[in-house]
């Protein structure tokens, strides 16, 4: 049980790469915190610095108020679950889980009791005498969890612990990790590059990009009030749609028509004072609806041809080709390339998630609505959100 | 059997026969009575263990055998201990001069040993190491090290680094992580390296003959070359053959005993897999 504080923590590798830049973060006792971001953004490095596996180049790391920068991993009492599980192949499941306890020199009876307890929680009872090589991926993952929980550490660190599992198992393990963390109440830092995992697991999420923290907030915060283009595009699935727009009087001129500026947007805009008249309009696919199912008078409606329809069962995804590319903006192109999702990130297509009852078919022309208040406006030069108040 | 299998079987047989004939010949000679050495029969007409009895009775072989065993074991142990640390550093750490070190050890392995005999002889005589166990152990360790470092480094590289990190996170000190996780996983490599180092020391003739002068430190291969018959007219062939068979036995036992441990793949299941 511990509070972990990162105070302007920086990691500079010997070759000069700044993998993590001045990260400021307070992880509350019992909190489940997620570090999320595209591959190479410095998540593992941050986690390794908390663990003590990487030196901290600058800044201070405090656990329960004590500076621990100089403490070796074995003196920090933190457990870690690795992406590869890192089980000791020459030991049985039982020996693997006993390892931290034997090192801590606990007596035999206590060790046995703790192992039985952990095996019970993780349903590993029948496998205690097997070697890791005789286990399935999911079982190995649970052994790795078991090795972490047996000694009641101050905190758990998990580096993409589920990324080696198939989708179904991943969803299962996600819920069991969440339940386990709640019942143990141990401070947990969890690294993932998967936004769905981040959104479903975390109390709070830290979004990182190229070693810099973009936003820290609850899943709700990140979804509803993304601090910038990057967070807006990274969080949410399908990805948010981005359209270049121009501010004209009380509306925004875009490829899908003149969208009126709502009160919320107006006060945000006046606070931020955008540099020019150009903006990037962000609209979540979920904000769209087939007009036939909308009776909101304030809704903005536009007609458009539908190019592709995908049925998800619970909803339909309609793809609309628009002929303006948000990536014409330099900053945007950079982000799209960095997140490795150029095909979905600001493509010349709008994705609209419609009611499953919508009769829309490919090639149809239809009316689509959304509430003008549901959009976000971003500065095309640096990506900041122009409609949010700090 | 398919044609390919038959062809492979024949080829295997040829290789095995080619390798075994000299050994069997030696065995046959060692079991023959001296008077029948030249009877042209591969299988002895009369079996006798006199040759074996002779070499141990006369005593000219017992002491060299003890020297051989002692010197080879000590040299192997030293080479393995030093090799484990050096190989670990090479596999895990990034330090300046690492490649130079590897290159240098390769150079030592390639060095023509003959050219070292005379200087070593001079050096050891002045240092009082000539004709002592230590006088042989030093060069043996030197020439066994490159091999052990190479083998062990490649085994250490196979062990996922994350295992060590996991051990540290589990509260182990670096030394505990090394001893409880790395060493057991590298065991097949250690055994392989030990066998090869031992064979290298055990088989040496050059240093053994040049750096010793009496039974105090002379090893078995060198001692065999000094075998003479009991009299000028007695043929030492039988004794030599018997001694040669005796000194191959430890090697054969060694390899048979550790064969199962030399199998690799012990690390499977550590990561993803
Ligand atoms: N030992 C190292 N030396 C130099 N650069 C490194 C080292 N380890 C990681 N990096 C770099 O630091 C950045 C962050 O890496 P990492 O924390 O592993 O990313 P993530 O876990 O988010 O995918 C990457 O650009 C990576 O190339
Ligand atoms: Mg990583």
Is the predicted pLDDT of residue B270 greater than 50, yes or no? no
In 3D, which of A37, A40, A67, A42 has the Cα closest to residue A52?
A: A67
Residues B35, B113, single domain; the answer is no
**What whole-number distance in Å separates Cα of residue A70 and Cα of residue A76?**
10
Residues B178, B238, single domain; the answer is yes
Backbone angles phi, psi at A189, to 5 degrees: -115, 125
Q: What is the pLDDT, as a whole number, of residue B41? A: 78
Tell me how far CA of residue A47 lies from CA of A11, A81, A246, B133, in angstroms. 11, 11, 42, 54
Residue A355 lies in a domain: yes
Contact A190, A36 (CB under 8 A): no
Number of domains in chain A: 2
Residues B84, B180, single domain; the answer is yes
- pLDDT category at B155 given cuts 50, 70, 90 is confident
State whether residue B163 sits within 8 Å of chain A by CB.
yes
Number of domains in chain B: 2
**What whole-number distance in Å separates Cα of residue B115 and Cα of residue A163?**
58
Measured in angstroms, how far is the CA atom of residue A191 from the centroid of ligand 2?
Answer: 8
How much is the average pLDDT of B151-160?
87
Residues A254, A315, single domain; the answer is yes
Please give the residue range of the domain that contains residue B18.
Answer: 1-48
Residues B130, B250, single domain; the answer is yes
What proportion of chain A, given as a percentage, has pLDDT over 90? 58
Question: For A162, which residue in chain B has the nearest alpha carbon?
Answer: B272
- CB of A340 closer than 6 A to ligand 1? no
**What whole-number distance in Å separates Cα of residue A73 and Cα of residue A157?**
12
Which of A61-70, A130-139, B208-217, B260-269 shows the lowest per-residue confidence on average (mean pLDDT)?
B260-269
**Residue nearest atom 11 of ligand 1, based on CA coordinates:** A19
Residues B128, B222, single domain; the answer is yes
Read off the pLDDT of residues A1-16 as tens digits, 9 standing for 90 and up: 689 999 999 999 988 8
Contact B138, B71 (CB under 8 A): no
CB atoms within 10 A of CB B262: 13
Is the predicted pLDDT of residue A274 greater than 80, yes or no? no
Read off the pLDDT of residues A187-241 as tens digits, 9 standing for 90 and up: 999 999 999 999 999 899 999 999 999 999 999 999 999 999 899 989 988 889 9
Residue B109 lies in a domain: yes
Q: What is the pLDDT, as a whole number, of residue B225? A: 86
How much is the average pLDDT of A315-343?
76
Contact B74, B136 (CB under 8 A): no
How much is the average pLDDT of B50-74?
88
CATH code for position B214: 1.10.3720.10
- pLDDT category at A273 given cuts 50, 70, 90 is confident
CATH code for position A258: 2.40.50.140
**What whole-number distance in Å separates Cα of residue A357 and Cα of residue A359?**
6
Q: What is the pLDDT, as a whole number, of residue A326? A: 65
**What whole-number distance in Å separates Cα of residue B96 and Cα of residue B20?**
48
Residues B149, B122, single domain; the answer is yes
Q: How, if at all, do strands A300-305 and A66-67 pair?
A: unpaired
Residue B37 lies in a domain: yes
Tell me how far CA of residue A374 lies from CA of A132, A187, B103, in angstroms. 50, 35, 66
Q: Which of B48, B70, B85 is where one domain is finished? A: B48
State whether residue B21 sits within 8 Å of chain A by CB.
no
**What whole-number distance in Å separates Cα of residue B165 and Cα of residue B168?**
5
Identify all chain A residues contacting B267, using CB atoms and an 8 Å cutoff: 89
Residues B137, B200, single domain; the answer is yes
Residues B33, B83, single domain; the answer is no
Whether cis (ω within 30° of 0) applies to the bond prior to A130 is no
Measured in angstroms, how far is the CA atom of residue A43 from the centroid of ligand 1?
Answer: 8
Residues A106, A197, single domain; the answer is yes
pLDDT greater at residue A337 or residue A149: A149
Q: Which residues contact A85 (CB under 8 A, 6 or more apart)?
A: A132, A140, A141, A143, A144, A161, A164, B271, B272
Q: Which residues contact A194 (CB under 8 A, 6 or more apart)?
A: A36, A163
Residues A285, A215, single domain; the answer is no
Please give the residue range of the domain that contains residue A71.
Answer: 4-224
Q: What is the pLDDT, as a whole number, of residue B269? A: 39
- For the question of whether the overall pTM of this predicted structure is more than 0.95, the answer is no
Q: What is the pLDDT, as a whole number, of residue A344? A: 60
């Amino acid at each position: 049980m511990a509070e972990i504080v990162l105070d302007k923590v920086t990691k500079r590798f010997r070759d000069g790469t700044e993998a993590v830049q001045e990260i400021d973060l307070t992880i509350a006792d019992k909190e489940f915190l997620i570090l999320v971001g595209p591959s190479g953004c410095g998540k593992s490095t941050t986690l390794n610095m908390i663990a003590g596996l990487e030196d901290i180049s600058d800044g201070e790391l405090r656990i329960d108020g004590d500076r621990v920068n100089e403490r070796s991993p074995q003196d920090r009492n933190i457990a870690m679950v690795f992406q590869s599980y890192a089980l000791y192949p020459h030991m049985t499941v039982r020996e693997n889980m006993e390892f931290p306890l034997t090192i801590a020199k606990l007596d035999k009876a206590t060790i046995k009791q703790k192992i039985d307890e952990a095996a019970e929680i993780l349903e590993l009872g029948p496998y205690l005498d097997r070697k890791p090589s005789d286990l399935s991926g999911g079982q190995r993952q649970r052994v790795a969890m078991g090795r972490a929980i047996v000694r009641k550490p101050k905190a758990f660190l998990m580096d993409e612990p589920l990324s080696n599992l198939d989708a179904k198992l991943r969803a299962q393990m996600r819920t069991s990790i969440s339940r386990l963390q709640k019942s143990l109440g141990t401070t947990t830092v969890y690294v993932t590059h998967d936004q769905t995992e981040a959104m479903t697991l975390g109390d709070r999420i830290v979004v990182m990009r190229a070693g810099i923290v973009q936003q820290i907030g609850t899943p709700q915060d990140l979804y509803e009030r993304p601090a910038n283009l990057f967070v807006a595009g990274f969080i949410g699935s399908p990805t948010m749609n981005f359209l270049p727009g121009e501010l004209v009087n009380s509306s925004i001129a875009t490829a899908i028509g003149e969208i009126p500026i709502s009160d919320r947007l107006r006060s945000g805009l006046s606070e931020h004072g955008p540099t020019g008249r150009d903006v990037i309009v962000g609209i979540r696919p979920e904000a769209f609806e087939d007009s036939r199912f909308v009776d909101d008078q304030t809704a903005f409606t536009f007609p458009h041809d539908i190019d592709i329809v995908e049925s998800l069962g619970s909803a339909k995804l309609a793809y609309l080709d628009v002929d303006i590319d948000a990536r014409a903006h330099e900053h945007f192109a950079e982000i799209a390339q960095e997140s490795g999702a150029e095909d979905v990130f600001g493509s010349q297509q709008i994705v609209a998630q419609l009611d499953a009852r919508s009769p829309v078919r490919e090639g149809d022309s239809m009316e689509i609505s959304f509430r003008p208040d549901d959009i976000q406006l971003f500065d095309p030069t640096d990506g900041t959100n122009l409609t949010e108040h700090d | 059997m398919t044609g390919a299998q038959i062809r492979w079987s024949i080829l295997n047989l040829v290789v095995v026969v080619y390798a075994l004939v000299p050994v069997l010949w030696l065995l046959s000679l060692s079991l023959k009575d001296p008077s029948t050495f030249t009877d042209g029969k591969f299988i002895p007409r009369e079996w006798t263990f006199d040759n074996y009895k002779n070499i141990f009775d006369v005593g000219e072989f017992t002491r060299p055998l003890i020297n051989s065993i002692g010197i080879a074991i000590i040299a192997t142990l030293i080479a393995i201990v030093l090799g484990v640390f050096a190989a670990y550093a090479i596999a895990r750490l990034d330090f300046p001069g690492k490649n130079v070190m590897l290159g240098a050890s390769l150079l030592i392995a390639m060095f023509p040993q003959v050219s070292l005999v005379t200087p070593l002889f001079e050096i050891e005589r002045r240092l009082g190491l000539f004709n002592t166990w230590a006088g042989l152990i030093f060069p043996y360790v030197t020439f066994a090290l490159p091999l052990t470092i190479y083998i062990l480094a490649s085994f250490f590289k196979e062990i996922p680094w994350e295992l060590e990190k996991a051990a540290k996170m589990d509260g182990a000190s670096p030394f505990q992580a090394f001893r409880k996780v790395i060493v057991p996983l590298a065991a097949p490599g250690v055994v392989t390296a030990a066998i090869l180092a031992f064979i290298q020391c055990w088989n040496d003739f050059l240093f053994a003959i040049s750096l010793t002068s009496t039974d105090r430190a002379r090893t078995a291969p060198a001692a065999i070359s000094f075998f003479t018959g009991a009299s000028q007219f007695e043929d030492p062939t039988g004794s030599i053959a018997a001694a040669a068979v005796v000194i191959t036995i430890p090697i054969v036992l060694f390899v048979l005993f550790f064969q199962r441990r030399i199998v690799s793949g012990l690390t499977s299941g550590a990561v993803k897999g």
